[in-house]
Structure 1
Amino acid sequence: MKGLLAFLLILVTALCEAQDLNNYKYVIVDNQYDFQQEPNEYRLNEMMVFEIKKREISAFLADDVLPNDLNETGCNALSLKVETRSGLRVKMIFEFVNCNGITVFETKEGIGRTKNFEKAYREAVRDAMTSLDGLNYS
């Protein structure tokens, strides 16, 4: 019984903490992630910005000129974190994290099946970003 109560308490707390992408105006994409040897390798970071903007969410690279109202009225920007695994296939998951370090949204696992790393990463980005299609961001 105590275990069930603890589980319900954790579930309710998680649901209360759950936030919506609509509460945020911008997404900031880093110039280089851990899996990259150099900034914007394979032009992936630019592609991430493009894929996010394609879904009508304002996105910028970290070294772009950022809007004046960014974080002016509290935390209105998310940063994009990337988890990757590679082996026979490249797998990527994107996390949209707010300024408090809370993950607001996590994409599905995008998979790149091509042997060429550049093409596999691009395929994985496109696949993972399809999670944003049904969000009705406004």
Structure 2
Amino acid sequence: MRKLILLTGLLVLSVLAYSQTPYKYVIIPTQFPDFANGLNPYGLSSSIQNELNAKSIENTFQAELSNDEFCDVLTVNLIKINNMFKNKLKVELKDCRNRVVWSQEGTGRSKDFQKGYAEAIAEAFKDLNQLPVNPNASPQVAVAPAPTPAQQVEQAAPEAAPAPTVQAQATNPQALYKPANLFYNYSYFIDLVDADAGRKQLILLNGELLGYQNLQTIGTLSPSGLGDVYTLEWTTAAGETVRGLANLTANELKISLPKGDQQEVITLQKY
């Protein structure tokens, strides 16, 4: 009887577990300025889409994302590898924190840029059959099915053993962070967050790559009274605080900081 009761308790137990689900889809940029200017240079965007479609991997050209899906997708990055005789490149898939979760190099034998880069992209993608697992996926509750009548116990035992308890695994706050207002360039991925009294804070998502901590607040914008112009307190990677100016529009954040006798200008675009 005790075994039957314990079995019944285990069957109705809800277990909290993290789903091992892959990323939902891939975002393909339509511009690759390191290769050439303009839209879809050398057919790079089209070649990437062709390879992903051939593997039934969901993809879309670069577009605005809602906050809910921001960390559920990957973005393609291409790195040009200089080679005198061949078209060589590296394909990277990056997550919402600008971390590379997959990368592979490819080489094109054709001397024609468009055909050669298409060959290189095909070679790089040849072993990618599905997207990597997303560690930022939300936890799901898996509920065991209810016992059938044949498994039910007609008469309870005098002293039923206590049902085992399951503790939810602590989650990593950084892994669940979803940017709300992202600005970026080739170095910085910054979330612009509203604070009190009209101020705004700059939270750095890829801090470890730049000598900071991930999700560190590295700047505070305060209204100057001059429209889109803000005064700025900026924290350097060495922990020093410097004061500068920032110009904020709907699509661009331009930061000006003193650097010796000159000014350092950091320009970030709205994601």
TM-score, normalised to structure 1, is: 0.70
Richer in strand (by share): 2
The answer for the alignment partner of 2:243 in structure 1 is none
Map 1:72-111; keep pairs closer than 5 Å.
72-73=68-69, 75-86=71-82, 87-107=84-104, 109-111=105-107
Q: Structure 2: state its 5+ residue gaps.
A: 1-19, 134-271
Aligned length: 112
Kindly report the root-mean-square deviation, in angstroms, between the aligned alpha carbons of the 2 structures.
Answer: 2.5
CA radius of gyration, larger in: 2
The answer for the alignment partner of 2:166 in structure 1 is none
- SS of the residue corresponding to residue 27 of structure 1 reads strand
CA contact (8 A) 1:26 1:59 kept: yes
Q: Which runs of 4+ in 1 moved over 4 A?
A: 135-138
Richer in helix (by share): 1
Q: Structure 1: state its 5+ residue gaps.
A: 1-19
CA deviation after TM superposition for structure 1 residue 23, in Å: 2.9
Match of 1:132 among 128, 131, 155: 128
CA contact (8 A) 1:98 1:104 kept: yes
CA deviation after TM superposition for structure 1 residue 93, in Å: 1.1
Q: Percent identity?
A: 29
Match of 1:119 among 86, 103, 115: 115
Tell me the alpha carbon deviations over residues 99-124 of structure 1, each in whole angstroms, 9 at most, x when there is no partner. 011111112x1101112112111111
CA deviation after TM superposition for structure 1 residue 43, in Å: 2.1
**Relative contact order: is structure 1 or structure 2 higher (C-alpha 8 Å, sep ≥ 6)?**
1
- What amino acid is aligned across from residue 25 of structure 1 in structure 2? K
Tell me the alpha carbon deviations over residues 74-93 of structure 1, each in whole angstroms, 9 at most, x when there is no partner. 51011111111242111111
CA deviation after TM superposition for structure 1 residue 73, in Å: 4.8
The answer for the alignment partner of 2:177 in structure 1 is none
CA deviation after TM superposition for structure 1 residue 31, in Å: 0.7
